[in-house]
Amino acid sequence: MVVQAKTYTAEDLWELSHLPEYAEMRLELSEGELIVMAPSSWQHGVMSSRFIRIVGDFVETHHLGLTTGAETGYILHRNPDGRDTVRAPDIGFVAAARVPDVLPDTGYVPFAPDLAVEIISPNDKAHEVQDTVSAYLQYGTRMIWVAYPMSKTVVVHTPSGAHTLREHDVLDGADVLPGFRVTVRELFV
C-alpha cells in the first residue's frame, strides 16, 4: 500500500479512480490521504466472492437491504477542510431503511455501511487494519467482520467491543443482519 502526501476530497478520489494509471488499483482516502492498493490475490478474490455470495444471498432472500463488492466506495466522513475519508470494504451492507428509493448512477455511497467485511491478505499490516476498523466504528458502521484466511478466524467488531470466532464457532448477524448464522468454517475455502 502506498500513501500519497497531497490531501484529497471524495470528488478528487472519484476523478482519480477514472484515470488510466489507476485503472487496476483500489483507491481509498483516510482523512484526505490517498491510499493506493494493488489488485487482490487469487485467494483473496475467492474469499471475497464466497463471503459476498453467502451474505448477499441472505440479504436478498430476506429483503434486508443491499450488499456491495470491494470496488464500492463509502464516504465515511466529509471534513470541511477537504480531508475526507472514503473506504471500500471487501463486502458492504446497507440496511433497507437507509437505501434511497433511486440509486444514483455515479458516485460513492454517501454514508458508512451498516456492515463492513474486510478479508485480510498476508501483506496487510495490523495497524492499518486497526485504523480501518476504527474509522468504520467512528463514523457509524454497526458491525465489522475482519476475516483472517490463514488462521480461519473472524474478528467481530462492534461499538461495544470485539471478539474472535474460530472455525467451529457460529458467526451471527446480531441486529445488523437479523437471523444470519453461519459457521466460520463455511466461510473459508
Would you report the helix, strand and coil content of the chain in percent, each value rounded to 5? 25, 35, 40
**Residue percentage of the chain with pLDDT more than 70:** 97
pLDDT at 41 over 90: no
Average pLDDT, the chain: 91
- Residue-range domain boundaries for the chain: 41-76+88-187
**Phi, psi at residue 96, to the nearest 5°?**
-50, -40
Give the pLDDT score at 94. Answer: 97
CATH 3.40.1550.20 for domain 41-76+88-187, yes or no, is: no
The pLDDT > 90 percentage for the chain reads 62
Alpha-carbon distances of 9 from 6, 32, 60, 113, rounded to whole Å: 10, 6, 33, 19
3-state SS record for 82-149: CCCEEECCCEEEEEHHHCCCCCCCCCCECCCCCEEEEECCCCCCHHHHHHHHHHHHHCCCCEEEEEEC
Q: Is the pLDDT of residue 23 over 80?
A: no
Name which residue leads in pLDDT, 102 or 142: 142
Average pLDDT over residues 86-113: 92
Decide which of 75 and 44 is more confident: 75
Phi and psi of 135, rounded to 5°?
-65, -45
**What is the structure's pLDDT at 38?**
77
32, burial (CB in 10 Å: exposed 0-12, middle 13-18, buried 19+) = buried
Q: Average pLDDT for residues 181-187, to the nearest whole number? A: 95
DSSP 1: -
Contact 154, 164 (CB under 8 A): yes
Residue 46 has pLDDT above 90, yes or no: no
Q: How confident is the model at residue 82 (pLDDT cuts 50, 70, 90)?
A: confident
3 confidence band (pLDDT: 50, 70, 90): low
Predicted pLDDT at 2: 53
